Structure 1
Amino acid sequence: MDEPRRYRHDWTLFADCCEACDHRALPTHPSVLVEFLADHPTAEGTQRRRVTAINAVHTGAGLPEPGRAETIRQLLSTARADRLARVGERVADVVPRIPVTGWPGGVFGRRDALILTLAAAGVSFEQIARLRRTDIITEDDALMVRVAETWLRIPTEEVNSVDVHSNWIEVLGFLDRYPSTRLLAARLDANADLTAFTDHARCDDRPLLTIDRWGHTPFAPTPLTGHAVAAIVRAHLTGQPPVHRGPPSRRPPSSAEAQKTLYVAEIELEQEYYDRGVAPRRDAHTHLGDVTDLLDSVEDEADRLLADLLVILGNIDEE
């Protein structure tokens, strides 16, 4: 690999360390880079230069930059690490108080808890908005999030990240099976168990965060924007969580309101007008009179075929 001259010293040091520890230098895993930086402590500026050199060599080879992993960014910036630590403490205090049952608070609470957990781990707002369902998996009681072609590990320490993720996946899985907000609302109001709906949703490649302001999932999945994610995080961390209400109910107009809007047009219609409307209905009644009998015979035939099929399958199992 022909690395640029200004990166040669730092890259050679890293490559020699990888060879000594039986690690692959190109491409390297972020965990190997973390180990290298920990074994060779120096000034913060020097460490950043080393990571820049390693990233540059990977970029030149058409490979993802290991130094973009969130763990590396925190190692190189004590200020960023301190800020994320403060955010993590606040999130650990907020998430347990967010509702996961009831409508519509439960569905938005599950979504917001996951957003807060990801933000506290250092995932940027834009990256959170772009996540797809398959970008998050569970491994060794921790949440693994794919960000910028690397995997970020979120342990279950201050916040149980695995449970937070499962709560949201349950909602997505239920809506995949039953695309009805009314049914979901009934389940959340009754605090029903939704764990049976998670398996399919975990394997789906659709966007992760797609519900609208009423709690509906659109047929054409449109994820939240980075600005929307930032607003949600900011609202919760400042103690002003967004208030969600269900869609306005549609009530039929009262008789008084109906009378106000009633308008009778004084139009005299010719006699043929009624004949033209009644004749097709009379013909339909005559020609479709035996439809019910036909449908009954089709249903009987279908039941007979199903019974025959069950007998055949039973014989196969016995053999």
Structure 2
Amino acid sequence: MKPSVPVRDRHTWSLFEDWCAALDQPALPALSESLAQFLQAHPAAPTTQRRRIAVIDAAHYRHALPPPGRAETVRAALDVARSERLRDLAGLLGGIIARLPESGWPSILFARRDALILTLASTGMPYTQIAALRVCDVAVDPGSDALRVETGTGICTSTMRQLGGAGASPKRVYRRWCEVLGHHERYPSNRMLADAIESEGGTELTGYDRHLDPVGQQPLLTPIDRWGHTPLATTPLTSRAIADIVRMHLDGRAPAHLQPRVRTQPSDTEREPEPAPTVVLDSGYYERGTLARRDAHDLLADVDSALADVETRADKLLENLLGFLEVETSSM
């Protein structure tokens, strides 16, 4: 495929095309890793590098191909200081992931999900992009202990080896969360999931990731309430929630997610009878009550006659009204 490149951009494109040909890699479409390696092999001022990325991306846009310059690996190659910060962050997050609980309900469920959130956050992806990830967007790198993220919107990145150096395996983290999602696909029961996780440290979940469709469109990360329940209708975790989770883990303030205590009612045999309240009545209590009832009887004695008089007057008014209506009708 030979792209049509403007005259002013031909030198940049020819340089990239010759470099790809020397390494036996396609220039169109180009992999984001190839572009990142090209930038590292041809160091230049940041403005020059950004211009090269723009030219290569424009060639892909003209052929309706995903631009490689939007990938996180290219951004990291362009910004050396940012790459250094991400490597430090990956090492820090890897240590946090390695210390997450491995047993107990529902803490282990939160631990499996949060481990994947921290793994994805180590790539430097914005939280909005992490929240929008679907199952089909993440895959295990076949050649290394890493995860690859590729979306239809041009996002392309992968996890760093610093995670493994800190004791966290991205492949294991991803598999353990996929086991949870696969169990939900097979048995949509929170009680059954809790039993499987609590049994021998969650080993009963092994193999359930095969029930998860790798090209599925459902959200990858979901909310979990304090009882360990996930929404019946698949709902993605919000970017605000992901930011809070990452921040709490980095600050050492992540909750333990212990099982809330269930209040138990004592049995009838264990309940002690409550003592009857003691009420002391004064000597005039009954006399005042009798007097009040007598006064009420005298006050309401004429109610029946008053109601009868109202009823008689209402009947009279109705009779006069009907007579008036008959006269009006006959005169028309």
**TM-score normalised to structure 1 length:** 0.72
Which one-letter code corresponds to 1:144 in the other structure?
Answer: R
Q: 2:139 aligns with which of 132, 137, 140?
A: 137
Q: 1:169-211 CA deviation, whole Å, 9 max, x = no partner?
A: 1111122222221222222223241112111125343211123
> Larger Rg: 1 or 2?
2
Matched, 1:106 2:118: no
Correspondence for 1:40 among 22, 33, 42: 42
Question: Hey, what does 1:180 align to over in structure 2?
Answer: 189
1:114-167 CA deviation, whole Å, 9 max, x = no partner? 110111122321221111122222212432222444543335632210111111
Look up the equivalent residue of 1:153 and give its one-letter code.
Answer: S
For 1:160, which of 165, 169, 186 is the aligned residue?
169
Distance 1:57 1:122, change over 3 A: same
- The equivalent residue for 1:210 is 222
SS of residue paired to 2:193: helix
1:273 match? none
Distance 2:240 2:217 in 1: 23
Structure 2 match to 1:233? 246
Q: Aligned to 1:152, what secondary structure does the other structure show?
A: strand
What residue ranges of structure 1 are gaps of 5+ in the alignment? 257-319
Find the aligned partners of 2:196 and 2:23 in 1 and give their Cα distance. Answer: 54
Counterpart of 1:87 (choices 86, 89, 97) is 89
User: Which of residues 66, 69, 72 is equivalent to 1:70?
Assistant: 72
Distance 1:231 1:50, change over 3 A: same
SS in structure 2 at match of 1:211: coil
Are the equivalent residues in 2 in contact too, given 1:129–1:229 (CA < 8 A)?
A: yes
Report percent identity of matched pairs.
Answer: 43
Structure 1 consecutive aligned stretches of length 4 or more whose deviation exceeds 6 Å: 252-256
> CA deviation digits over 1:237-275, x for unaligned, max 9?
11111343546747569879xxxxxxxxxxxxxxxxxxx
Amino acid at match of 2:208: F
Does structure 2 conserve the Cα–Cα contact (< 8 Å) formed by 1:232 and 1:242?
A: no
Give unpaired runs (5+ residues) of structure 2.
Answer: 272-332
Q: Which SS does the other structure have where 1:108 is aligned? A: helix
Give the superposed CA RMSD.
2.5
CA distance in 1 between counterparts of 2:84 and 2:183 reads 39
